[in-house]
């Protein structure tokens, strides 16, 4: 198991966003998380990538515990230093890319490997150029983010995450800020990564994509996992009434 | 008095004005950043102290503040610290301008989208690295126009040094004008301030252009 999240609880003020959620991801697996907005999908990703802290439950990467619930029922994290190691296991691609506007594409890809992971600059550049090649934007290495289309920016963001050599890559609605034309080029890249057996968790509203690419689909609503399983089962033969209702919207 | 004599008498005053200007910037630009960061401290007491400092500095005239720095040690604490004129002057300017710069920095820092912090956190940058490598460069670009305004005001504010009878160009102009019953010293001083600000505006626009390579 690369990632295990058990009995995760999270609330914002009076809102219970995650109610006792458990899920795990195996090496090479692609998991899609679907569901209406406000269902807790993004919060789950943000908890997994340590952008949010959980109130209760357990987070494990590679069998090692990053957070667990103590006897009084509160979540306890490992020290900041140890957390640094856990952050290294995972990468996150944001809905709005969040590239550094003041860095060129190449610099965006090598800055963290060099200054956070202390890898050699030459090696980082080689890795970066390889990734840009794969993303089909090697010719834009010297461009600045503002000079790129949204689709290109998102591909740079994916390359930036991959440059850190994560064991698992999370996507938080990677195409929601893109128009349909540009969505395709980003999905193509993710599909390609799936074929290479990159472990990924994708929060998405692109149902055909989720169905085609993922090994497993989670349908979340109201802070719980309503239904999960093989994409063909969930999409073509949903068991829960709430899932049916949600998927009907996309048939229109 | 000949024009050239007037000019050469006033020249040391110009140097002193430039001195106040330079030392104030050297002190206030970094101090302002420290103040801005302290204003965002997680300790309530620190935030309260910084808040009070900024509101007092902004709420009272710089001229009055200079007098307090100069005469305060004696009147408030019966301290006699010899020739304290120049240090008091610089202290007054630095403490005053740091408060204004701090507010500009704070505005700049708060204008950076939270996504920049989140991306940095996920990539494993430390807090110091996030600030120095990702946030600060973007802040500098955004606040340059506001900083330019403040620096131009500073050029003109150096004339307030006359309240402590420090003989920078404005004090000299007043003196010479009175003794020679001539208007010319004021014209010279006016031209000096104008040219100085012209240079400031030019340099700042160059810096802005240099940072134009990204949006």
pLDDT in tens, B161-204: 999 999 999 999 999 999 999 999 999 999 999 999 999 999 99
A84·B137 Cβ contact <8 A: no
Beta bridge partners of A60: A4, A65
Whether B135 and chain A come into contact, CB under 8 Å, resolves to no
Write out chain A's pLDDT in tens, 252 residues: 899 999 999 999 888 999 999 999 999 999 999 999 889 999 999 999 999 999 999 999 999 999 999 988 889 999 988 999 999 999 999 999 999 999 999 999 999 999 999 999 999 999 999 999 999 999 999 999 999 999 999 999 999 999 999 999 999 999 999 998 899 999 999 999 999 999 999 999 999 999 999 999 999 999 999 999 999 999 999 999 999 999 988 776
List residues bridging with A33 in a β-sheet.
Answer: A203, A218
| C-alpha span between B204 and B140 (Å, rounded) | 12
Q: ipTM value of the model?
A: 0.93
Burial (Cβ within 10 Å: 0-12, 13-18, ≥19) of residue B55: exposed
**Phi-psi category of residue B123: left, alpha or beta, with phi > 0 → left and psi -120 to 50 → alpha:** alpha
B159: closest CA among B138, B134, B189?
B189
Q: What is the mean pLDDT of chain B?
A: 94
Q: Walk me through the domains of chain B, giving residue ranges and CATH numbers.
A: 3-214 (1.10.3720.10)
With CB atoms and an 8 Å threshold, state whether A116 touches B125.
Answer: yes
A-chain residues within 8 Å CB-CB of B212?
A: none
Asked if A164 lies within 8 A of B123 by C-beta distance, the reply is yes
Distance from the Cα of B104 to chain A's closest Cα (Å) equals 20
Q: How many beta carbons lie within 10 A of that of residue B5, not counting itself?
A: 11
As a whole number of angstroms, the distance between CA A90 and CA A48 comes to: 8
**Does pLDDT of B2 surpass 90?**
no
The runs of H, that is alpha helices, within chain B are 3-39, 44-59, 62-77, 85-110, 114-123, 127-129, 136-157, 169-180, 184-210
Q: Do A115 and B215 touch (CB under 8 A)?
A: no
A92 touches B at CB < 8 Å: yes
Q: Which residues contact A187 (CB under 8 A, 6 or more apart)?
A: A175, A206, A209, A213
Structural tokens at position A34: 């679907």
Which chain A residues contact residue B124 at CB under 8 A? 84, 87-88, 112, 116-117, 164
Total-model pTM: 0.90
In a 3-state reduction of DSSP, which class is residue B133? helix
C-alpha closest to that of A45 among A80, A93, A83: A93
B105-161 pLDDT tens trace: 999 999 999 999 999 999 999 999 999 999 999 999 999 999 999 999 999 999 999
**Predicted pLDDT of residue B95:** 98
Give contacts of B118 with chain A, Cβ < 8 Å.
51, 94, 98
């Amino acid at each position: 198991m690369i990632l295990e999240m058990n009995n995760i609880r999270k609330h914002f003020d009076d809102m219970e966003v995650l109610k006792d959620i458990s899920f795990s991801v195996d090496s090479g697996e692609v998991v899609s998380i679907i569901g209406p907005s406000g269902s807790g999908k993004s919060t789950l990703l943000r908890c997994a990538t340590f952008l949010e802290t959980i109130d209760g439950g357990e987070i494990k990467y590679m069998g090692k515990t990053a957070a667990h619930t103590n006897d009084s029922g509160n979540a306890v994290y490992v020290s900041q230093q140890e957390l640094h190691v856990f952050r290294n296991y995972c990468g996150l691609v944001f809905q709005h890319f969040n590239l550094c506007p003041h860095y060129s594409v190449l610099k965006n890809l090598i800055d963290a490997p060099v200054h956070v992971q202390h890898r050699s600059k030459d090696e980082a550049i080689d890795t970066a150029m390889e990734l840009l090649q794969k993303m089909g934007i090697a010719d834009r290495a010297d461009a600045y983010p503002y000079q790129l289309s949204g689709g290109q920016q998102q591909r740079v963001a994916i390359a930036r995450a991959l440059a850190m050599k994560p064991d698992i890559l999370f996507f938080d609605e990677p195409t929601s800020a893109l128009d349909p034309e540009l969505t395709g080029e980003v999905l193509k890249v993710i599909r390609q990564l799936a074929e290479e057996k990159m472990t990924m968790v994708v929060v998405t509203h692109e149902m055909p994509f989720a169905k085609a690419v993922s090994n497993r689909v989670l349908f979340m609503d109201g802070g719980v996992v309503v239904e999960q399983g093989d994409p063909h089962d969930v999409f073509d033969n949903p068991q829960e009434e709430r899932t049916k209702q949600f998927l009907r919207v996309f048939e229109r | 008095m000949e024009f050239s004599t007037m000019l050469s008498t006033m020249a040391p005053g110009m140097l002193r004005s430039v001195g106040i200007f330079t030392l104030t910037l050297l002190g206030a630009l970094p101090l302002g950043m420290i103040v801005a960061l302290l204003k965002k401290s997680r300790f309530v007491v620190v935030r309260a102290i910084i808040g009070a400092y900024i509101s007092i500095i902004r709420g009272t005239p710089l001229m009055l503040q200079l007098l307090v720095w100069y005469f305060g040690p004696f009147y408030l604490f019966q301290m006699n610290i010899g020739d304290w004129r120049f240090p008091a002057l610089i202290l007054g300017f630095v403490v005053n301008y740091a408060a204004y710069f701090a507010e500009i920095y704070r505005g700049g820092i708060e204008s950076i989208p939270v996504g920049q912090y989140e991306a940095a956190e996920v990539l494993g940058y430390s807090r110091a690295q996030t600030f120095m490598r990702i946030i600060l460069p973007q802040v500098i670009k955004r606040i340059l126009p506001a900083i330019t305004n403040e620096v131009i005001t500073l050029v003109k504010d150096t004339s307030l040094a006359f309240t402590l009878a420090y003989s920078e160009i404005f004090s000299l102009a007043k003196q010479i004008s009175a003794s020679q019953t001539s208007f010319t010293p004021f014209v010279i001083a006016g031209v000096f301030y104008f040219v100085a600000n012209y240079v400031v505006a030019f340099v700042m626009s160059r810096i802005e252009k240099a940072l134009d390579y990204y949006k």
